[in-house]
Chains A and B, each alone.
Chain A
Amino acid sequence: MIRFILRRTGSLFLLLVAVSFITFTLFQLGPADPASAACGQECTPERVQEARVALGMDQPFFVQYAEYMRGLVADRMIGAPGAESLCQWPCLGKSFQTNENVSDIIARSLPYTFSMAIGALVLWTLSGVGLGLLAALRKGSPTDKFIVGAASVGVSLPIPVTGLFLLLVFVNQLHLLPFTTNEINSPFGPQGPWAWVLNYLLPWIALAVLFSASYIRVTRTNMIETFGEDFIRTARAKGLAPRTVTFKHGVRAGITPVVTMLGMDIGLLLGGAVLTEQIFSVPGLGFTAVRAAVSGDLPVTMAITMLAAFFVIVANVVVDLAYAAIDPRVRLQ
């Protein structure tokens, strides 16, 4: 167990280094010119050069990268000569755009992304697994066909379509829900948990429609397969109640692929749901990342990319641990 965690932590670090290096390289190879962007309009070549020095972009590539990585473990001075400011470790740099500490930007965006992810996750897991199980239990019935059909529709509806449709119907026409506001980013805020739920309900539904469709399919397929297993027949032959057969013997055995999917999706979603955040104007990680990438804000882009990678890797470790908890045969290895 300890060896497992140590090994996974080690690979986590290696992967993060790789991700940071690749992002850094791609950024340098790309057309983005942060210096001209930073110096604003009506810029003379001299002022661009000054900006370049201030951003540290006059240095060779490897020096820049090494300096950035050093900041992760030690304090670092950032800024033009004579106008430097201290960036305490772990230093993710300062925004090229606002000169704000990147860690502050991340800390500000993260609650929005968490708020979106958690609700959507609960919603789509419950609906996806629940409907998938129902379809599997009623295999071949009209209920099953309806659910499978709805899943096919759901999976082919892109977020902009569902998102804008929901906004149009529930906010614009029916006035049932408020438009998403930036003032609420946690259920523990002054407005209380209910306002939080209402505020994020539409993005949750938009994400859930998209995600639960694939959960329905995977759950249904796996549960149908599991219900055909010999051990289910054994459980029935023992005289167990149908509920026990379905849940204790069936679902536990058939749910493992869903756990894998869930882990991957949580990881991806925590890195920022770019489209959903854009459409509902939620200033989460995805929203911030897009803005940073467009304006050539390297430190912010780097930080969000690494954070997204971090979430995906950690989610994978959690999936592996969950697997071992569910399936005793995995514990051997």
Chain B
Amino acid sequence: MTQSQTSPTAVAAPEPAAFLDVRNLSVKFPTDDGVVSAVNGMDFTLDRGQTLGIVGESGSGKSVTSQALMGLLKGTSAQVTGQALFQGKDLVTLSEAGMRQLRGRNIGMIFQDPLSALHPFYTVGHQIAEAYLVHNKATKKQARAAAVDMLGRVGIPSPDMRFDEYPHHFSGGMRQRAMIAMALICEPELLIADEPTTALDVTVQAQILDLMAELQQETNSALILITHDLGVVAEVCDDVLVMYGGQCVESGPVDEIFYDTRHPYTLGLLKSMPTLTTASGKLNPIPGSPPSLLALPQGCIFSARCEYASMVADGLCHKQRPEFTAEAGHGTRCHLGGEQLLTIRTSR
């Protein structure tokens, strides 16, 4: 595998085959009220062994992006455009049958709520073995052995016994471990985790993150971690992509996103994180709410909530949508200049 570029970029120039190369990915849902633009022109690349965090609030298009990559929107009314080259295959145009070959075997997925994501009527073991049997020529016995082995690897005690239990017998953390076992049983090269720790206790969250990182190391797989928890991002991600209103507003290496923040929305997210040193005990939310995806504003999509929009001359923020500009792998979509940003950051 040639290491082309480890960080997400917006460069449109052709690259030597990246492991996953997403360009101008857009998803639109036609509804009775109009077209919902859930994802608008996403660009990023990802290599094996790397972890990309996709951050944003609810409705920012994180999950839709992951479902588009997984081909789960095929057969629905959703219109997916752009390109998503995975080992040279375009996931956007690939047929449902071709996608099915990749799902589970080459691309695994972990979902947010493991209780609703597991089938209530089948044993946990059966569901994991089923994932193994789709992609491997194996007997039921071999599949069981593989599933039991995988349950052990994700840290479930006495896996041979737990194999025959139903999801409702498992605790929340155990269920998510089982989900991970199911997603990883065919050792996919790409793992997409959609808010894998959101439904879990804080203590269990850390265990699950550690487990995912450990298994990722073992198989040298690429990981896309979708979350709204910046703490999680800081812990496990190499690169971060911040989404707002279906667009990527800022992306870059994790350290730069945290310490050299360039987009007011990212700043707002960081500020809104509660810390132990916040004396008042009050939270600092970003005022306002995300724009309607039915009718995105003409200017910058964050302009209505941006407290720095007035710093830009001529009300440009409300008139013209900023281009995504990147330097050295760190890009942002904002009209604010470097000096203005510096002032903002130091004033905090």
Residues of A near any B CB (own CB < 8 A): 229-231, 233-242, 249, 252-253, 326-329, 332
Q: A234–B134 contact, CB under 8 A?
A: no
Are A237's CB and B72's CB within 8 A? yes
Known: A231-B117, A329-B166. 16 other contacts (CB 8 A): A230-B111, A230-B117, A231-B116, A233-B72, A233-B111, A234-B111, A234-B118, A234-B182, A237-B70, A238-B130, A238-B131, A252-B121, A327-B121, A328-B166, A329-B168, A332-B168
How far, in angstroms, from A236 to B109 measured CA to CA in the complex? Answer: 10
Q: Name B72's contact: one of A236, A240, A249, A329 (CB within 8 Å).
A: A236
Interface pair B130/A240, CB less than 8 Å apart: yes
The residues of A that contact B162 with a CB separation of less than 8 Å are none
Residues of A within 8 Å of B130, CB to CB, are 238, 240
Q: Closest chain B residue to A237 by CB distance? A: B109
Cβ contacts under 8 Å, A238 to chain B: 103-104, 130-131, 134, 182
Closest 7 CB pairs of A and B: A239-B104, A239-B103, A230-B116, A231-B119, A238-B104, A238-B131, A237-B109
Decide: B120 and A234 in contact? CB cutoff 8 A.
no
Give min CB distance, B9 to chain A, whole Å.
28
B interface size (C-beta, 8 A): 30
17 residue pairs from A and B, CB less than 8 Å apart: A229-B116, A231-B116, A231-B119, A233-B67, A233-B72, A237-B103, A237-B109, A237-B111, A238-B130, A239-B100, A239-B131, A239-B135, A240-B104, A242-B96, A327-B120, A328-B168, A329-B168
Residues of A near B72 (CB, < 8 A) are: 233, 236-237
- Closest chain-B Cβ to A241's Cβ sits at a distance in Å of 7
Q: A232 CA to B108 CA in the complex, in Å?
A: 15
Report which of B102, B134, B168 forms a contact with A240, defined as CB distance below 8 A. B134
Q: Report the minimal beta-carbon distance from B65 to chain A, rounded to whole angstroms.
A: 15
Q: List residues of chain B with CB within 8 A of the CB of A230.
A: 111, 113, 116-117
User: Cβ of B100 and Cβ of A234 under 8 Å apart?
Assistant: no
Q: Shortest distance in angstroms between A296's beta carbon and chain B's nearest beta carbon?
A: 52
Q: Which residue of A lies closest to B74 (CB)?
A: A236
Is B105 in contact with chain A by the CB < 8 A criterion? yes
CB neighbours (8 Å) of A229 from chain B are 116
Bitwise, B103-139 to A at CB < 8 A (1) or not (0) is: 1110011010100111111000001001100110000
Q: Mostly helix, strand, loop or mixed at chain A's interface? A: helix
**For residue A327, which residues in chain B have a CB less than 8 angstroms away from its CB?**
120-121
Q: Which residues of A contact B135 (CB under 8 A)?
A: 239
Say yes or no: A239 contacts B118, CB within 8 Å: no
Q: How far apart are the CA atoms of A38 and B99 in the complex, in Å?
A: 78
CB distance from A258 to the nearest CB of B (A): 15
Residue of A nearest to B70 (CB): A237
Q: Is B101 in the interface zone, CB < 8 Å from A?
A: yes
Which of B108, B119, B166 interacts with A235 by CB under 8 Å?
A: B119
Q: List chain B residues, Cβ under 8 A from A233.
A: 67, 72, 111, 117
**B168 contact set on A, CB distance < 8 A:** 328-329, 332
Query: Closest B-chain residue to A252, C-beta based?
Result: B121
**A253 contact set on B, CB distance < 8 A:** 119-121
Shortest Cβ distance from B100 into chain A, in angstroms? 5
Q: Which residues of chain B come closer than 8 Å to A241, judged between CB atoms?
A: 100, 134
Docked complex Cα distance between A329 and B111 (Å): 22
Contacting pair B166 A234 (CB below 8 A): no
**B109's closest neighbor in chain A, by CB?**
A237
Q: Which of B169-186 contact A (CB under 8 A)?
A: 179, 182-183
Complex CA–CA separation, A291 to B113 (angstroms) = 60
Q: Which B residues are CB-close (under 8 A) to A240? A: 100, 104, 130, 134
Contacts A237-B103, A239-B105; is A329 near B120 (CB within 8 Å)? yes
Distance (whole angstroms) from the CB of A300 to the closest CB of chain B: 45
B171 vs chain A, min Cβ distance (A) = 16
| Distance from A246 Cβ to chain B, minimum over Cβ atoms (Å) | 12
Residues of A within 8 A of B131 (CB): 238-239
Return the CB mask of B172-207 against A: 1 if under 8 Å, else 0. Answer: 000000010011000000000000000000000000
